[in-house]
């Protein structure tokens, strides 16, 4: 397991030519720009040569001689398997999950089905496809509405009363053609970072008011974070085990983050799997890594190391074929 004290700066055995992909065309562009800037700064501090590449559309090209790509993208295109498939076709190693796992994890419904098949506890759910659908039979509020294929709490709605249903559903459907309706779990909200096949310390998330929606997630001071989460050892282990099982169920590799609610009796309930979690120095995965004694630059280096294990032993044919960097 990970240690409890911060490590010395990572011993970099090889200076690499690294492309950090950041920004992109998704609703999470601004968050991605911040993640990418933090990662680029950290990797430069370790002596690597860094190129920042913003793939606003499919016309992007990699610089010649790139060794590895660090994906600091979030949301559609960057996290749904699209950019991963392109990099696989180029033969260039990249950080994070492969294209298949990315596609699965980005779809909340497919993720839930994978969890159920693997025996991983997840919240009761239903899929809604039209704003004209009335309150589904057999349900009672409160419930949560989420676009099936979005991240970072984009479009997240909490329905506490029946009269909130129509406007909440319309807002959630504004961000995608399908909406996941899910029971609202009353209990601690946690998230588990995963690095190299191991679970990092659990983070508990406590919004000061309301739920952990986009505004509470990205507005300073509106949410408190506790890491390690103030939970007993048995509950902590159950949460970490459920997170690891969910990550494996979607085919995850290298690193990720799994969001887990905890019922009052201590039962973990997996909500979703994030394959490219936020990477600013105050994001949840880096918080968990810091609690495990892994400094931010060292975390970025470990992610690069995991990707480089898949690097070909000869020169990368995809890098040169991709051409020169876009201006």
Catalytic residue ranges? 28, 152, 218, 257, 259, 272, 274, 278
State the alpha helices, DSSP H only, in the chain: 29-45, 82-90, 99-106, 108-118, 165-173, 214-218, 233-249, 284-291, 296-308, 317-322
User: Measured on CA atoms in the order 6, 12, 15, 20, is the torsion positive or negative?
Assistant: negative
Residue tagged 């103030």 (tokens): 230
Q: Which residue has the tokens 């990418």?
A: 36
Residue 91 phi/psi, 5° resolution? 75, 25
Any idea what DSSP says for residue 27? T
What distance lies between CA 321 and its chain's CA centroid?
A: 30
CA distances from 243 to 7, 252, 254, 262 (A): 25, 11, 14, 12
Neighbour count for residue 144 (Cβ, 10 Å): 22
With a CB cutoff of 8 Å and minimum separation 6, the contacts of 280 are: 34, 35, 38, 286
74 near 28, Cβ under 8 Å?
Answer: yes
Distance between CA 294 and CA 284 in Å, rounded? 13
Distance CA 277, CA 281 (A): 12
């Amino acid at each position: 397991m990970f240690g409890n004290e911060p490590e010395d700066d990572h011993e970099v055995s090889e200076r690499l030519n690294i492309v950090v992909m950041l920004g992109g065309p998704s609703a999470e562009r601004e968050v991605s720009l911040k993640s990418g800037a933090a990662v680029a700064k950290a990797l430069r501090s370790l002596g690597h040569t860094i190129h920042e590449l913003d793939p606003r559309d499919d016309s992007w090209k990699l610089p010649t001689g790139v060794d590895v790509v660090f994906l600091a993208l979030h949301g559609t295109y960057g996290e749904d398997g699209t950019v991963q498939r392109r990099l696989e076709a180029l033969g260039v190693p990249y950080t994070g999950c492969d294209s298949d796992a990315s596609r699965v994890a980005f779809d909340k419904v497919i993720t839930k089905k994978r969890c159920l098949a693997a025996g991983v506890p997840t919240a009761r759910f239903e899929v809604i496809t039209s704003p004209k659908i009335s309150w589904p039979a057999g349900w009672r509020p409160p419930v949560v509405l989420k676009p099936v294929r979005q991240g970072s709490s984009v479009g997240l709605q909490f329905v506490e009363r029946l009269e909130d249903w129509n406007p909440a559903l319309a807002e959630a459907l504004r961000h995608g053609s399908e909406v996941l309706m899910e029971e609202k779990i009353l209990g601690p909200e946690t998230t588990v970072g995963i690095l190299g096949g191991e679970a990092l310390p659990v983070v508990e998330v406590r919004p000061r008011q309301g739920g952990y929606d986009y505004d509470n997630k990205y507005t300073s001071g509106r949410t408190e974070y506790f890491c390690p989460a103030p939970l007993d050892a048995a509950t902590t282990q159950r949460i970490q085990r459920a997170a690891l099982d969910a990550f494996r169920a979607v085919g995850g590799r290298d690193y990720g983050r799994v969001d887990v609610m905890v019922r009052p009796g201590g039962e973990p309930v997996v909500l979703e799997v994030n394959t490219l979690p936020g990477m600013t120095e105050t994001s949840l995965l880096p918080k968990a890594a810091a609690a495990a004694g892994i400094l931010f630059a060292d975390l970025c280096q470990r992610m690069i190391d995991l990707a480089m294990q898949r690097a070909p032993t000869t020169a990368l044919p995809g890098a040169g074929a991709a051409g020169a960097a876009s201006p």
